[in-house]
Structure 1
Amino acid sequence: MTAAPTLPANFDPTDPSLCEERIPLQEFLELRKTAPVYWVEQAPEARAGFNDTGFWAISKHADIAAVSKNSKDFSANENGVIIRFAADMTREQVELQSVMLVNQDPPDHTKTRQIISRGFTPRAIGALHEVLVERANKIVDDALAKGEGDFVFEVAAELPLQAIADLLGVPMEDRRKLFDWSNQMLAYDDPEYDAQPDVAAAEILGYAMALAEERAKDPKDDIISKLVTADVDGHKLGDDEFGYFVILLAVAGNETTRNAITHGMNAFFENPDQWELWKRERPSTMVDEVIRWATPVTVFQRTALNDVEIGGQPIKKGDRVGLYYASGNHDEQVFENPDKFDILRDPNPHLAFGGHGAHYCIGANLARLEVEVIFNVIADRMPNIVKTGEPRRLRHAWINGIKELPVKYA
């Protein structure tokens, strides 16, 4: 029998003030040992949009993977996958997001994913390699010309933004709009930003629908044309579905990869032996270790559709469960020395792409390519990069974000 955890009675791993300071890995370690399925009672302002008082925090790798693969008993659609919204979020606003791929259940999810996957085939992603290398070199050129600056804004954010712009056929001069809109959508808990997430979402929707209308009339060789003209079993993306897909891509494809690259660079700063190893040997295992280490999305949730058990703990129909990927990615039963940044780690069955069920990240191969390309170019072109100050973390409940990392490029 395991001992009861010694955590504070009000411990909530989605507390943005805690996550602004650090990801609570020590607390997750204790939970994995003493209460791997742990009830979190949320303060009223933390459960806006939900009709309950809290959720079950799932901290073990095996349990997270099992729930991720079980669409029969666990729903992404019932309450969405976001575990903590802005304090003024309404139930109606939560339900409006059900059209997004990440919040869908089979069979709707299956049909939508079949359409969207046409833009993310290995051939489509492979075709981006050469242009991404070219863009990465230009990004590094511009950074070197400045001498020093903010790695997040000038390097880490740029390649994912430009890749999304290329995929969507968005003019390069508009990529910063996507950057600003996605920041606005996610920064509702950080007082440094005057965030208006509803306004930003409406801006992206309007922009996306205009692009979709244009491509429907005049198709081109880009993902928009494929999505608005595709038809799978009589189903194709409507205007609102396409708009929400662009929101998902702007957030998931921009914020997550940006943060993976930033956390990876900071991990190399903190582990110079690993940086020397990367410059010297370029092991293919580097990419997944950076992504494991960063775990840009720390948690998504599911809602139980039936009375079930997780790790021996009864879960009632309607209960929410938080899948803590950040904890699973440091599970000592799966990863040897999980708190060590080791770019030779192999195997590396991390959960940073959302487990291996139906909701496995559709853009995983693109993210891996972007991480590989940018660190290759940084190692080649500015191998002596150093940080000049500590990273500043984003105040956020479920994004492991860094909003500034001061560096000297050469």
Structure 2
Amino acid sequence: MGIDIITPELYETRGFPDDDFRRLRRESPIHWYEDPAQGAPGFWAVTRYDDVVHVSRHPELFSSHARTSMFTELAEDDIALYQLMMLFMDPPQHTRQRMFVNRGFTPRMIKQLEEHIREVAHRLIDEVVTRGECCFVRDIAAPFPLYVICELIGAPMEDREKIFEWSNALVGADDPDYSTSPEDAREVSIQVLEYAHKLAAHRREHPGDDIATSLLEPDSDGKRLSSDEFAMFILLLLIAGNETTRNGASGGMLAFFQHPDQWQRLAGNRALLRTTADEIVRWVSPVNLFRRTALKDTEIRGQRIHAGDKVVIFYSSANRDEDIFADPYTFDIGRDPNPHIGFGGGGPHFCLGTHLARLELNVLFELLLDRMPDIRPAGEARRLRSNFINGIKEMPVRFAPSEPLSRTCFI
């Protein structure tokens, strides 16, 4: 068909290739795609909403564990390492680990974080507000969820820059500004795991009021997460817990710049904050794709899929599906209902941090309306070179200078 939906450089220069995916949904929704990368296998591109949901909800057919959920083809040693992470497990192993970590991410637990999240956002705004300009990604969108995660896991705040660098390397392996090779990402993963083991030992000795401590406690049957399981979850949290909000915030701000009527609409009706976060996540789709491996011969939409085939589900495309969303190419902060799958297509891997991400986005945009109501672009946004994360790595902004609210160090 002459369509390229996978080369990372295209996402950097063009953003998400909407026209190509619109054509695939219409003409070839289950499309065999020959990967242009040398030595990479071809794959089935699944681009329509109902089919992405189907693949997501049938792990007995489409495995996250067989060769992990990552699009990139990994070496066998790397596969063995990543298969220890919950993201790359299938039931029943995934079910067991998910039960352990769910207790730290209930709506009630997340609600308790709201004041801290608000304080983090205020502090970040305080640090730039007198200047009248900043990089929205570097100064606000990127550190915001990172500092919240540091609080969640009980990591010392002096470690935040190191954790920030790790996060960039883990998701930016295709971008030369962040990393130079998959080997770099593997080395960073090992550093994170070593850090997590030390954190676990410290929290066992000195329990705190944080999710790390909660995860290390035995369940009702007296069972515990092992040190390796805990470490792999911390690695996952630094990726998933950081990137969704980081790129939702920066992509959402860019969407408001491109649709200023929606910014004015939100400013005039704060009740729309209730639906804004979900429309941002639908519109941005911070995670573009995940991979599955077919465990047995099956069919999707009448197309035969063979055991062992690589199957790639595209959330960004599904969130534009004309059969599901009225006016899918309209950024509408009042969209309700909004059955987007920016947090996953259901099934065992539905995003654990959904409530946290919504709360973070709601708080951030509420405070930006309060304190930077005239925020506007001051240059071109630079996108991440990645087919995995729909990310922005640089976005200069301007706003009317004002005084910080407080000199108190919140974080």
TM, length-normalised to structure 2: 0.93
**Are 1:296 and 2:281 matched, yes or no?**
no
Which amino acid in the other structure matches residue 336 of structure 1? Answer: A
Determine the structure 2 residue equivalent to 1:311.
301
- 1: CA distance, partners of 2:191 / 2:138: 21
Q: Which of these residues, 338, 343, 355, is aligned with residue 353 of structure 1?
A: 343
Q: 1:218 and 1:171 mapped to 2: Cα distance?
A: 13
- Unaligned 5+ runs, structure 2: 401-411
User: Deviation string for 1:177-235 (max 9, x for gaps)?
Assistant: 11100111222211233442122112111111100011122322211111122336564
Partner of 2:215: 227
1:14/1:84 contact within 8 Å kept: no
After the TM superposition, which residues 18-167 of structure 1 pair with which residues of structure 2 at under 5 Å, given as runs? 18-21=10-13, 22-45=15-38, 47=40, 53-84=41-72, 89-167=74-152
Residue in structure 1 matched with residue 317 of structure 2 by the alignment: 327
Q: Distance in 1 between matches of 2:4 and 2:282?
A: 22
Q: Is the deviation greater in 234-243 or in 356-365?
A: 234-243
DSSP-derived class of the 1:146 partner: coil
In 2, Cα distance between the equivalents of 1:233 and 1:104?
A: 22
Q: Which residue of 2 aligns with 1:180?
A: 165
Amino acid at match of 1:41: E
Offset, 1:236: 2.5
What is the Cα deviation at residue 95 of structure 1?
2.6
Q: Contact 1:55–1:322 (CA<8 Å) still a contact in 2?
A: yes
How far apart, in 1, do the equivalents of 2:294 and 2:179 lie? 35
CA contact (8 A) 2:69 2:291 kept: yes
Tell me which amino acid in the other structure corresponds to 2:380.
E
Is residue 6–residue 35 contact of structure 2 (8 Å, CA) maintained in 1? no
Which amino acid is 2:376 matched to? V
Contact 2:179 2:185 in 1 (8 A): no
User: Matched residues in 2 for 1:384 and 1:230: separation?
Assistant: 50
Query: 1:146: how far off?
Result: 2.6
User: Is residue 2:328 matched to residue 1:338?
Assistant: yes
**Partner residue, 1:4:** none
Deviations 1:105-142 (A, max 9, x none): 00110000000111111111000011111221111111
1:374-385 correspondence to structure 2 within 5 Å:
374-385=364-375
CA–CA distance in structure 2, aligned partners of residues 298 and 187 of structure 1: 14
In 2, the alpha carbon distance for the partners of 1:138 and 1:312 equals 54
Partner of 1:408: 398
Say whether the 8 Å CA contact 1:388–1:406 is kept in structure 2.
yes
Cα separation, partners in 2 of 1:46 and 1:391, compared to 1, 3 Å: farther
**AA aligned opposite 2:8:** P
**How does the TM-score come out when normalised to structure 1?**
0.93
Q: How many residues of Structure 1 are paired with residues of Structure 2 in the alignment?
A: 394
Give 1:200's aligned residue. Answer: 188
User: Does the 8 Å CA contact 1:309/1:315 hold for their aligned counterparts?
Assistant: yes
Please show how residues 241-320 of structure 1 align to structure 2 within 5 Å. 241-282=229-270, 283=272, 284-320=274-310
The aligned amino acid for 2:22 is: L
SS in 2 for 1:20: helix
* Native 8 Å contact 1:100 1:248 kept in 2: yes
- Looking at structure 2, the residues matched to 255 and 45 of structure 1 have their Cα atoms a distance apart, in angstroms, of 28
How is 1:380-395 mapped onto 2 (pairs within 5 angstroms)? 380-395=370-385
3-state SS of paired residue (1:285): helix
- What is the one-letter code of the residue matched to 2:105? F
Q: Which residue of 1 aligns with 2:226?
A: 238
Aligned to 1:50: none
1:84 Cα shift? Answer: 2.1
Does 2:11 correspond to 1:15? Answer: no
Take 1:46 and 1:144, find their aligned partners in 2: how far apart are those partners?
A: 49
Shift of 1:242: 1.4
**Secondary structure of the structure 1 residue equivalent to 2:83:** helix
1:356-371 correspondence to structure 2 within 5 Å: 356-371=346-361
Equivalent residue letter for 1:135? V
Aligned sequence identity (%): 44
Q: Return the alpha-carbon distance in structure 2 between the equivalents of residues 67 and 90 of structure 1.
A: 25
**CA distance in structure 2 between the partners assigned to 1:166 and 1:72 by the alignment:** 36
TM-fit CA distance, 1:239: 1.7
Contact 1:39/1:56, CA 8 A, preserved across alignment: yes
